[in-house]
Chains A and B, each alone.
Chain A
């Protein structure tokens, strides 16, 4: 899968010290904004927070995929951060979350190809080989190669 159309080295960060979910959202949302992926940080954050209220976005094994679907999303995009330390986050296995993929999904479904790629990424993140590779990636280039 070639995810370089959805994420790039500007939206991928490692070992950032963020203390809770809210800080993670602000950090990743800012990256998406700087990358011109979203038009409004506030509107997108509302969409992400709304999604959080529906069910847990932690997949387990320290990986979470929060996401927001909104008209403020200019293009389907993904921002990633590896946190310095795991933080509390509702998850399928109740373990702390250290690896966060924030998925920005456009409201209109005219971009099905990219939405499918986001779906493929999400489903790959429950596979042990992919989980291991994500955890071992230390730079954007490696991460993009393994997922």
Chain B
């Protein structure tokens, strides 16, 4: 899958970035392509650009708060989960999304 993801936890300092690392590691292990943006205390980093959205199969939002600029993802399948899910079970999350996408098409 080609994945774009946004991570954002409540304080935007710790779990946002841990979730990113876990998601990216899991995606690489499972052979997916991923670009992961963080919306933290210091603002948006590794921003998802329109071209990234264009070629993505799915958008994962791992957030405990409302993220900024969600309208970028209109028209794409969006999966929203709490940050903890991305940290605790990133591989299960990706496998579940993959089977849903396959089943739905």
Interface size on A, residues (CB 8 A): 21
Bound Cα distance A112, B14 (Å) = 13
Most chain A CB neighbours (cut-off 10 Å) among B11, B14, B42, B87: B14
> Hey, what's the 0/1 contact readout for B7-50 against A, CB within 8 Å counting as 1?
00111011111101110000000000000000011110000000
- Least distance between B95 CB and chain A CB atoms (Å): 19
On whether the beta carbons of A67 and B84 are closer than 8 Å, the reply is no
- Least distance between A1 CB and chain B CB atoms (Å): 13
- A55/B18 contact (C-beta < 8 A), A69-B11, A112-B42 known: no
Q: Which residue numbers of B lie inside 8 Å of A, CB to CB?
A: 9-11, 13-18, 20-22, 40-43, 64, 82-84, 87-88
Q: Which residue numbers of A lie inside 8 Å of B, CB to CB?
A: 51, 54-56, 59, 65, 67, 69, 92, 103, 105, 109, 112, 115-116, 118-120, 122-123, 126
Among all A-B residue pairs, the 5 with the closest Cβ atoms: A122-B14, A123-B17, A112-B42, A119-B17, A69-B11
